[in-house]
Amino acid sequence: MAVRLYQFAISHYSEKARWALDHKGIRYQPVTLLPGQHVKTIRALTGKTSSVPVLDHNGEIIQGSSAIIDYLEEVFPDHPLTPADPAAREQALAWERRLDDEAGPAIRCWAYHYLLQRPKLVVPMLAAGTPFYNRILLSLAFSRVDEVMRDWMKINQKTADASQQVLETLLSELANIYQQQPYLVGDSFSRADLTAGALFAPLFQPPQYPVPWPKKARLLPAMRGWLEQWQEQIQPLAMLYEQHRRA
């Protein structure tokens, strides 16, 4: 059985897929690509868009973290992530869709807006898991990398501020729920919790995540100050990750 996961080390959607594979105890080979250079590889695999993650299971190609979890649930049913109860299942899927649609893009926009202003911090994260020379290439071409990423993901101060508002709303809601119950849906860990923990992971920088996180003292003051201000709401997600994220 050959299982490969095409990914970016820095991608929180890739982390969602990594976590699902690890949760189910599936041995897999990560294929870590460099953002930008990944396009040809992914399009050759999928014939579609160049987004990651992409799972290759003996030639069966699945693109996107949610679709990957759906596939794993069907083919590797042990250690399920989707509730069996129909009502709970729909709640878990609804949470996953909302977090994918709202939290994922907001965290990406907000974090990159500030990190791209610190090339020495962000280049090692973008190149993590790829050959060492990619750091050199990214550093030399960083002004172009910055321009392309900001244009592609529509990153600027206005969109970063709007993303911050989305994060504050979601963090407040999630923190309130986790104060009252251990999981978002029912009485067991599900794909809803996994999605929340994976997508918000860049805000609490867990050591299991395969990138060289920057020291918080080196972050821009605006980024560092906001993270400190929202630590109380971020902490339940950090604890969830610590309790359930196993390699």
In a domain, 39, yes or no: yes
Q: How far apart are CA 70 and CA 228, in angstroms?
A: 36
Give the pLDDT confidence score for residue 180 in this predicted structure: 97
Same domain, 220 and 107: yes
Mean per-residue pLDDT of the chain = 97
> Within a domain: residue 26?
yes
Is residue 107 included in any domain, yes or no? yes
Cis before 53? omega within 30: yes
Based on the domain organization, do 19 and 49 belong to the same domain? yes
Of the pLDDT bands very low, low, confident and very high (cuts 50, 70, 90), residue 188 is: very high
Over 70: is that where the pLDDT of 1 sits? no
Rounded Cα distance between 98 and 196, Å, is 10
- Give domain status of residue 61, yes or no: yes
Q: Do residue 93 and residue 161 come from a single domain?
A: yes
Which domain CATH number covers 190? 1.20.1050.10
Q: Is residue 190 part of a domain?
A: yes
Average pLDDT over residues 155-176: 98
pLDDT at res. 84: 96
User: In the prediction, which pLDDT does 151 show?
Assistant: 97
DSSP secondary structure of 184-208:
SSTTS--HHHHHHHHHHHHHH--TT
Given a contact cutoff of 8 angstroms between Cβ atoms, the answer to whether 2 and 57 are in contact is: yes
Does 214 lie in the same domain as 142? yes
In a domain, 177, yes or no: yes
Residue type, 153: M
Segment 80-93 mean pLDDT: 98
| Whether residues 161 and 94 fall in one domain | yes
- Do 53 and 132 lie in one domain? The reply is no
| Predicted confidence (pLDDT) at residue 247 exceeds the cutoff of 70 | no
Instruction: Check whether residue 100 and residue 7 sit in a common domain.
Output: no
Q: What is the pLDDT of residues 27-66, one digit of tens each?
A: 999 999 999 889 899 999 998 888 999 999 999 999 999 9
Alpha carbon distances (Å) from 9 to 5, 35, 179, 219: 11, 10, 31, 20
Give Cα 2 to chain centroid, integer Å.
24
81 found inside a domain: no
CA 203: distance to chain centroid? Answer: 11
**What pLDDT does 50 receive?**
86
Q: Are 134 and 206 contained in the same domain?
A: yes
Give residue 246's pLDDT.
81
End-to-end C-alpha distance for the chain, whole angstroms: 19
Q: Average pLDDT in the 232-247 region?
A: 95
CB contact at 8 A, 226 and 164: yes
pLDDT value at residue 48: 82
Which residues fall within 8 angstroms of residue 210, CB to CB, at 6 or more apart? 9, 128, 129
Domain boundary among 18, 44, 75: 75
CATH at 29: 3.40.30.10
What would the pLDDT profile of 175-184 be if each residue is shown by its tens digit? 999 999 999 9
Tokens of 236: 């339940």
Region 89-99: mean pLDDT is 98
- What is the domain range of residue 23? 3-75
* Tally of domains within the chain: 2
